[in-house]
Chain A
Amino acid sequence: MRYDLNLPLNRDMIKDLVVGDEVYLNGKLLVGRDQVHLRLTTELERDGKMPVSLIGETIFYMGPAPAPQGFVIGSCGPTTSARMDPFAPTLMREGLIAMIGKGPRSESVRNSLIDHGCVYFTAFGGCGALYAQCVRSVRVIAYEDLGPEALYEMVVEDFPVIVAMDAFGASIYDR
């Protein structure tokens, strides 16, 4: 089944999504990977808050290549999601509704997807040039010192992903 969904997502929009569905996303999403996850969860534990609200947000696990002249962004495909597994349940508890990355996730991520009614999308691994074509704008919103690993906000159009794990506990990687 194909869906065209506008960001931010809400639980009503994702309740029918099942593993294998093709989804095209439009609108604003957050971008962060390893160090962003470490910092967000460390700050939450230390200060009780994070520099950005995650309620209803979708995060894309990615660190872009530099933008060539005339481009909004450089090559920007997904990175391996499993490295974010230790942090993802905390972020879902804080209101995150969807994650985009590549590859399988842990059992604790699966349980959190069910508990919080969230969805995990896989993007096409390595397809950095394809995704660069879908990005309309990008800006840093925190941790600028991390360079390509900073926390970004990105506006995307017809951004293709596949439902890899749904809110009912199913996973495309279960075989």
Chain B
Amino acid sequence: MDMLELEKNLEETVYRRMLTAGVELSDDVHDALKMAFEREESANSGSIVLENILKNLAIAKEKRLPMCQDTGMVLGFVDIGEELTVSLGVIKGAIERGIERAYEDGSFRKSVVAEPVFDRDNTKTNLPAVIYFESVPGDTISVHLLMKGFGSENCSGLEMLNPTKGPSGVEDAVVSIMGKAGGKPCPPVVVGVGIGGTSDRAAILSKRALTRKVGTYHQDPRYAGLERSIFDRIQGLGVGAGGLGGIITTLGVMIESEATHIAGMPVAVSINCWADRKAEMVFDKKGALQ
């Protein structure tokens, strides 16, 4: 692995993609919002919210203003091909420099405090980011980034279900968390569900689910069916855009699942607001952007 080459390309790509992500939604999310506005009944107040969200996106793009003032805390998933020998410190440093520059140059709000309970002093760089490294098959490095707003983050939930609860237990747990969230996470929301592992691992999987494109399904058809039925039940809550009532409360539900213990079935839910800002990039073994 040419670490010098990777370091340079990674920092620059993170910088450029973050600058764009704060201002413009990716096509999957933007299209889902347009479709939501078309489908929502005009008598519902949620329809006015969707109309203004689309207006807001057009202004943000034209004026190059962040679409939302909460430009989030950055979450990163770095998947490293097991055939590569790399320095995690170099990768982390390059990602962090890219983030810091983007937040400065993009007029993004720096929303990270150094310590959570007492002083809560702003770090003024929007760092640190939360970065997870994983080893995966292959010889490439892929990076997924989320700009995670906290209105939606504060509505996250975890249920440690009995192992015998089955798919309906999962559905009930997710729908209950979404019902409690109501209008708070800025619906229409994208819902990430992590099932399995330990409590902490389920939470990470729920974030990993949010890195997928809206409209994609789990490769196991049983889980894809679960995604669809949870999606329908969340729409049925009637929360609507902005929580003002309507038939569109979610843009998509994505599940990630993993092995777990015989005695348990952890289910974690992470919610992204309609400003579902994400970026992805892949580098080859020479450190070049693919």
Contact = CB atoms under 8 A, between A and B. Distances in A.
Interface of A: 20, 22, 62-68, 71, 74-77, 79-80, 82, 102-104, 122, 124-130, 132-133, 147-148, 160, 162, 164, 172-173, 175
A15 B186 CA distance: 28
A65 B154 CA distance: 20
A37 B28 CA distance: 38
Classify chain B: how many residues form its interface, as a range. 35 or more
Contacts of B67: 75, 126-129
B65 A126 contact: no
Interface in B61-79: 63-71
B213 to A, nearest CB: 20
Q: Which 3 A-B pairs have the closest CB atoms?
A: A129-B60, A65-B109, A127-B56
Contacts of A126: 53, 56, 67-68, 70, 149, 151, 186, 273-275
A125 B186 contact: yes
Given A65-B109, A126-B273, A173-B243, A160 B66 contact: no
B122 interface: yes
Interface stretch (B44-52, B167-175, B199-207, B222-230): B44-52
B65 A129 contact: yes
B59 A79 contact: no
B238 interface: yes
Contacts, number: 137
Contact of B69 (A76, A103, A162): A76
A162 B186 contact: no
Given A63-B109, A67-B107, A162-B244, A128 B66 contact: yes
A145 to B, nearest CB: 11
Contact of B151 (A125, A129, A160): A125
B69 A74 contact: yes
Contacts of B261: none
B273 A62 contact: no
Given A104-B182, A172-B245, A62 B56 contact: no
Given A77-B69, A102-B183, A129 B56 contact: yes
B184 A75 contact: no
B252 to A, nearest CB: 17
Contacts of A129: 56-57, 59-60, 63, 65-67
A68 B107 contact: yes
A164 B184 CA distance: 13
Nearest to B182: A104
B64 A124 contact: no
Contact of A74 (B48, B52, B66): B66
15 contacts: A20-B45, A65-B69, A71-B65, A82-B184, A102-B184, A103-B151, A103-B183, A103-B184, A125-B273, A127-B53, A128-B67, A129-B65, A130-B56, A130-B59, A173-B244
B217 interface: no
A22 B108 CA distance: 29
A159 B182 CA distance: 25
Contact of A68 (B55, B57, B64): B64
Interface in B205-256: 238, 242-245
